[in-house]
Structure 1
Amino acid sequence: MEMRSDLSISGIGRSQGGSYSHVRTDGMAKINGDTDCISLDNNGTLTIEGALQSETVSVNGTATVEGALKANRMILDGMATIKEHAVCQELLTVNGRLSIGGRLDGEKVEVFGILKTRDDVQCELLSVHGGFSIDGLLNAGLIDVKMNMPCKAQEIGGESITVRRLKKISVIEQFVPVLSAKLQAHTIEGDEIYLEHTEAEIVRGNDVIIGKGCKIGRVEYKNQLTRDEDAQIGAAYQI
């Protein structure tokens, strides 16, 4: 069995990458190279000049991973940037802001803040209390979004999709629409769909509810379509 030592950095310090048991950083820390560990606990500012693989990752502060990230569980309280793709096999919880330069794959993703990716997001459950910006496809079995800031994705697909708004329109949003808490997507497709304050070209599903504040170009539904009197729909077809 491989023997691993612990790595601890306090204050301002740096270390080489490698295989460790437990990594703990307090202060300003830099790790040069790929890092493989059982757990990583960061309090402060951490930069990893390489990829990170760990069973658990806890960030309380800020962190930058220059390569890819692979973990079973990650809890972020603060801000983190992953320059390449990220995999969180069990749970990803974002209390703050997470930016990913590639795609995100996971099982359960919870966002209490902002998630940004430059590629697709694939997971079983996505729960959002805040906002997101996904440059590719968002695909999840269950999608539950409660917006209080802008959300956007190229395409959204899932079995159950619910999009609601957490707050009323503020004075700032009335004059600066880009800050408005709404969802923008080209295509939204699922079995059960409920949308509020959503702009999309195409919405396609079995049972579809288009709520208040929606602007939809085309709705295709199999079983039932319900629309709010405030919603704008260009065309609707039962298929």
Structure 2
Amino acid sequence: MENRSDLNLSGIGKAQGGSYSHIRLDGMTKINGDTECITLDSNGTLTVEGALQSDTVSVNGTATVEGGLSANRVVLDGMVTVKAHAVCQDLLTVNGRLSIGSRLDGEKVEVFGSLKTRDDVQCEVFSVHGGFSVDGLLNAGLIDVKMNMPCRAQEIGGESIMIRRLKKFSVLEQFVPSLSAKLQAHTIEGDEVDLEYTEAEIVRGNDVRIGPGCKIGRVEYKNRLKRDGDAVIGTAHQI
């Protein structure tokens, strides 16, 4: 590690991938090849033509990683695309939009904007102020979602699941339902499940609340089911 050099670029520049200590980029930069470093700080536009591995990653602007991303702490402000598997062992904070071409694994995921993955999301804490699209299973110990745009996942599982809406129903949503701030999923399963503005085929839990704006095909609960007068439930069974 002591033999690694720093990489500092300003303006429009290119660099070869490899092992570095600290990377600081200001402007428009392209890195050719897999890159490993202790810290990466990018302000502007960054393209990594390979995989990126770093202890900490900070992006202010736009970034594209052609391979996978592996880091402990990641803070993204802007629009970022990772075209393969993303791993964040400690904290991932998204202020803007993050698109991942495969799955996301992490400890704590905070989204203030939108997250899109082509595969599963696995973490301990999943907190969203905005929206998400998960083409697979969203699995977390704690799921806390406050929607102001559409949310979707094939399956959702967790210990505590809470889905809320940040904004009221708008006139635009009446004419363009796809823009509605609601959650769509096939199956939602957890110990404590508290849903609003959710459409799902199956909801299972120990203690379940089906709140306003919900359309659920089947509810299976162990201890308690609380149902809002506005909620639509096909069938409900205590198991």
TM over 0.5: yes
Distance 1:173 1:27 in 2: 38
Helix, strand or coil at the partner of 1:108: strand
Q: Percent sequence identity over matched residues?
A: 82
Aligned ranges for residues 26-65 of structure 1 at < 5 Å?
26-65=26-65
Unmatched 5+ stretches in structure 2: none
Match of 1:4 in 2: 4
Helix, strand or coil at the partner of 1:178: helix
> 1:91 corresponds to which letter in structure 2?
L
Distance 2:17 2:9 in 1: 13
CA deviation map 1:190-232 (0-9, x unaligned): 0000000000000000000000000000000000000000000
> 2:177 corresponds to which letter in structure 1?
P
> 1:88 corresponds to which letter in structure 2?
C
Match of 1:169 in 2: 169
Distance 2:227 2:14 in 1: 58
- 2:184 counterpart of 1:184: yes
- 2:158 counterpart of 1:158: yes
Distance 2:175 2:3 in 1: 60
Match of 1:123 in 2: 123
Match of 2:134 in 1: 134
Structure 1 position 9, deviation (Å): 1.2
Instruction: Count residues in correspondence.
Output: 239
Match of 1:111 in 2: 111
Structure 1 position 132, deviation (Å): 0.1
Structure 1 position 66, deviation (Å): 0.2
CA deviation map 1:117-152 (0-9, x unaligned): 000000000000000000000000000000000000
Distance 1:3 1:87 in 2: 26
> 1:228 corresponds to which letter in structure 2?
D
> 1:148 corresponds to which letter in structure 2?
N
Distance 2:95 2:106 in 1: 17
Distance 1:153 1:114 in 2: 13
Match of 1:20 in 2: 20
> 1:118 corresponds to which letter in structure 2?
R
Match of 1:223 in 2: 223
Helix, strand or coil at the partner of 1:3: coil
CA deviation map 1:8-32 (0-9, x unaligned): 1110000000000000111000000
TM-score normalized by the length of structure 2: 0.99
Helix, strand or coil at the partner of 1:113: strand
Distance 1:132 1:8 in 2: 34
Structure 1 position 51, deviation (Å): 0.1
Distance 2:77 2:66 in 1: 19
Match of 1:97 in 2: 97
Distance 1:186 1:32 in 2: 41
Distance 1:51 1:24 in 2: 17
Match of 1:87 in 2: 87
Structure 1 position 40, deviation (Å): 0.2
Distance 1:111 1:11 in 2: 30
Match of 1:73 in 2: 73
Helix, strand or coil at the partner of 2:72: strand
Distance 1:23 1:30 in 2: 12
Unmatched 5+ stretches in structure 1: none
Helix, strand or coil at the partner of 2:36: strand
